[in-house]
Amino acid sequence: MLSSVVIGSGNLAHHLVQAMLNANIDLKGIWARDTDKAFEMGQLFRVPVFNGLNQIPQETDLVLLAISDNAVEQVALNIQTHGIVAHCSGILPIQTLGDKRHCGVFWPVQTFSKNQKIDFKKVPVVVQATDEEDQRILEVFADLIAAQAIICKESQRQMLHLAAVFVNNFSNHLFALIKDLLQSNELPFDVLKPLIQETAHKIIEMDPALAQTGPAKRGDTISLNIHRNLLKDDAQLLKLYNILTESIQNKS
């Protein structure tokens, strides 16, 4: 039976602990800098809470750092274990973990929020390790709790992280900008929700290049001009509109 420890008390830590318990992994315990949150989590999941990083059992197979990027280096420095210490960041170099013998990356490619349930069995996990045996163990963990393991080199993982920023952060930002625009025109953002769902749904089976529609793709200058006119008092949105339109036309 594989054993693990989860460090952290944020959204990802919660999801990971739940997923470990679902997969019958021997979760030895948890630790978080915020003691109150750690004990809250311990009660919620009925798992032991360590008083300090030095209490982590030496023989734990995997110590997973589900903490913010800028805390990884310091926390890793204080962990002594014979097992693998892995961070959950898409972007941090593996070396951030220090000169440990067994280091790894275990990055779930998903966005986690407090009140959004995520089925971890549908989440792909990028794994990376310097040692082949370590990589295999991380793969087994990914197979047990997640959808699949994606084995990446460091530069590929960082490229995937960049890609995730485009499809998640940038799309979401467009939604936020448009919600503001509609509100100032007394229009409900709700009207667009089915369209947003379908846009995301479509590309499950369809190449996004083939799913591309709209005035930019069609070269429909009448629509483009009406849109630009509607945005004439909003320099920021107009700039985005023009650059994205141009980018679609360059790709066509």
Task: Spell out the long-range contacts of 77-83 with Cβ–Cβ below 8 A and sequence spacing 24 or more.
Answer: 78/53, 78/54, 79/7, 79/53, 80/54, 80/56, 81/56, 81/57, 82/58, 83/3, 83/58, 83/59
Amino acid of residue 225: N
- In the complex, minimum distance from the CB of residue 76 to a copy of itself, in angstroms, rounded to a whole number: 16
- Binding segment (CB under 8 A) for a copy of itself, from list 13-21, 27-35, 133-141, 240-248: 240-248
The site map against a copy of itself for 53-82 (x = CB under 8 A) is ----------------x-------------
- Binding segment (CB under 8 A) for a copy of itself, from list 32-40, 56-64, 80-88, 237-245: 237-245
Our finding on whether 158 is near a copy of itself (CB under 8 A) is: yes
With CB under 8 A as the contact rule, the residue among 35, 44, 193, 219 that binds a copy of itself is 193
- In the complex, minimum distance from the CB of residue 250 to a copy of itself, in angstroms, rounded to a whole number: 7
Q: Which is nearer to a copy of itself, 58 or 155 (CB)?
A: 155
Measure Cα distances from 236 to 53, 174, 231, 243 in Å: 48, 12, 9, 11
- Binding segment (CB under 8 A) for a copy of itself, from list 2-10, 27-35, 45-53, 176-184: 176-184
Beta-bridged to residue 29, according to DSSP, are 5
Find the farthest-apart pair of alpha carbons in the chain and give their distance in angstroms, rounded. Answer: 68
CA dihedral 194, 196, 197, 203 (to 10 degrees): 140
Residues 86-145 binding a copy of itself (CB under 8 A) are 91, 109-111, 113, 115-116, 118, 122-124, 126
